[in-house]
Amino acid sequence: MTSNVGGIDRILRIVLGVVLVALAATGTVGAWGWVGLVPLATGLIGWCPPYGLLGINTCKNKNI
C-alpha cells in the first residue's frame, strides 16, 4: 500500500474529518457527520482506495 494522498490534500482531509466528527459528536449536524471518519482516516493513513482505483496520486514523492 503506497501513499497516494499528499500535502495539502492530506491536511484538508484531516481538518474536514475532525470538523465533521466534532459537529456530529455535539449533535449539531446529526448522524451523517460521522461520515467525517472516512476523510479523517484516509488523511491520517495517507492512502485513499478510490484514488488507487482511479490512478490518482497527489503525493509529490512517488516512491513512498
pLDDT in tens, 29-63: 999 999 999 999 999 999 999 999 999 999 887 65
User: Is residue 2 assigned to a domain?
Assistant: no
Q: What is the pLDDT of residue 34?
A: 97
Q: What is the pLDDT of residue 35?
A: 97
* Cell numbers describing residue 14: 484531516
pLDDT surpasses 80 at 18: yes
User: Is residue 12 assigned to a domain?
Assistant: yes
User: Is residue 62 assigned to a domain?
Assistant: no
Q: What is the pLDDT of residue 58?
A: 92
Work out how many domains the chain is built from and give that number: 1
Domain of residue 21, residue span: 7-54
Q: How far is it, in rounded angstroms, from Cα 59 to Cα 47?
A: 10
User: Is residue 64 assigned to a domain?
Assistant: no
pLDDT surpasses 80 at 64: no
Q: What is the pLDDT of residue 2?
A: 86
Q: How far is it, in rounded angstroms, from Cα 38 to Cα 43?
A: 8
pTM: 0.87
Q: Quote the DSSP letter at residue 32.
A: G
